Amino acid sequence: MAELPVPELPATLSRCSGRFTISTLLGTEEGGWGPYAATEGAGCDSAHPTHLSGSTLCTRTFGYNTVDVVPAYEHYANSKGVGDARKGRPSLADLHSILKPDPGRLHPPVSSPQRSNGLPEAGPEEATGEPGRDPMPEPVRFGWVKGVMIRCMLNIWGVILYLRLPWITAQAGIALTWLIILMSVTVTTITGLSISAISTNGKVKSGGTYFLISRSLGPELGGSIGLIFAFANAVAVAMHTVGFAETVRDLLQEHNSLIVDPTNDIRIIGVVTVTVLLGISLAGMEWEAKAQILFFLVILVSFINYLVGTVIPATAEKQSKGFFSYRADIFAQNFVPNWRGPEGSFFGLFSIFFPSATGILAGANISGDLKDPAVAIPKGTLMAIFWTTVSYLVLSATIGACVVRDASGSLNDSVAVGSVGCEGLACSFGWNFTACAQRQSCRYGLSNYYQSMSMVSGFGPLITAGIFGATLSSALACLVSAPKVFQCLCRDQLYPLIGFFGKGYGRNSEPIRGYMLTYIIAVGFILIAELNAIAPIISNFFLCSYALINFSCFHASITNSPGWRPSFRYYSKWAALFGAAVSVVIMFLLTWWAALIAFGIVIFLLGYVLYKKPDVNWGSSMQASSYNMALNYSVGLSEVDEHIKNYRPQCLVLTGPPNFRPALVDFVGTFTKNLSLMLCGNVLIGPRKQKMPESRLTADGHTKWLTKRKIKAFYTDVVAEDLRNGVQMLIQAAGLGKMRPNILVLGYKRNWRTASPQSLEDYVGILHDAFDFKYGVCLMRMKEGLNVSRVMQAHVNPTFDAAEHAEENGTGGRAAPGTADSATLASEQQASTIFQSDQGKKTIDIYWLFDDGGLTLLIPYLLGRKKRWGKCKIRVFVGGQINRMDEERKAIVSLLSKFRLGFQEVHILPDINQKPRPEHIKRFDDLIAPFRLNDGFKDEATVNEMRQGCPWKISDEEVDKNRAKSLRQVRLNEILLDYSRDAALIAITLPIGRKGRCPSSLYMAWLETLSQDLRPPIILTRGNQENVLTFYCQ
Instruction: Give 454-482 pLDDT, tens digit per residue.
Output: 888 888 889 889 988 888 888 888 898 88
Instruction: Give 719-766 pLDDT, tens digit per residue.
Output: 999 999 999 999 999 988 888 999 999 999 999 998 988 899 999 999
Q: How wide is the angle at C-alpha 408 spanned by C-alphas 404 and 413, nearest 5°?
A: 100
Q: Quick check: 314 and 461 in contact, CB under 8 A?
A: no
End-to-end CA gap in the chain: 71
Calculate mean pLDDT across residues 548-571: 87
Q: Which of 244-248, 602-606, 832-836, 947-951 has the lowest mean pLDDT?
A: 947-951
DSSP bridge partners of 779: 746, 1020
The Cα–Cα gap between 166 and 400 comes to: 8
Q: Quick check: 476 and 205 in contact, CB under 8 A?
A: no
Q: Quick check: 181 and 168 in contact, CB under 8 A?
A: no
**Regarding predicted confidence, which is higher, 11 or 405?**
405
User: What is the torsion angle, in degrees rounded to the nearest 10, for the CA atoms of residue 512, residue 513, residue 516 and residue 520?
Assistant: -160
DSSP assignment of 270-294 equals HHHHHHHHHHHHHT-HHHHHHHHHH
The Cα–Cα gap between 541 and 539 comes to: 5
The Cα–Cα gap between 894 and 906 comes to: 11
Collapsing DSSP to helix, strand or coil, 381 comes out as helix
Query: Pairing state of beta strands 985-989 and 1018-1022?
Result: parallel
Q: Which residues have C-beta within 8 Å of that of residue 498, sequence separation ≥ 6?
A: 486, 489, 490
* Strand-by-strand arrangement of the 743-747 sheet: 714-720, 678-685, 651-654, 743-747, 776-781, 1018-1022, 985-989, 843-847, 873-879, 905-909
Q: Quick check: 59 and 67 in contact, CB under 8 A?
A: no
Calculate mean pLDDT across residues 629-639: 86
Q: What is the predicted pLDDT for the residue at 77?
A: 67
Q: Which of 17-31, 180-194, 867-881 has the lowest mean pLDDT?
A: 17-31
Q: Quick check: 816 and 789 in contact, CB under 8 A?
A: yes
The Cα–Cα gap between 627 and 645 comes to: 28
The residue length of the chain stands at 1034
**Regarding predicted confidence, which is higher, 491 or 83?**
491
pLDDT band at 61 (very low <50, low <70, confident <90, very high): low
Nearest CA to 166 out of 400, 371, 486, 455 is that of: 400
Cα 982 to chain centroid distance, Å, stands at: 47
- How many Cβ atoms sit within 10 Å of the Cβ of residue 96? 9
Percentage with pLDDT > 70 across the chain: 83
Nearest CA to 296 out of 454, 152, 117, 150 is that of: 150
The Cα–Cα gap between 239 and 525 comes to: 8
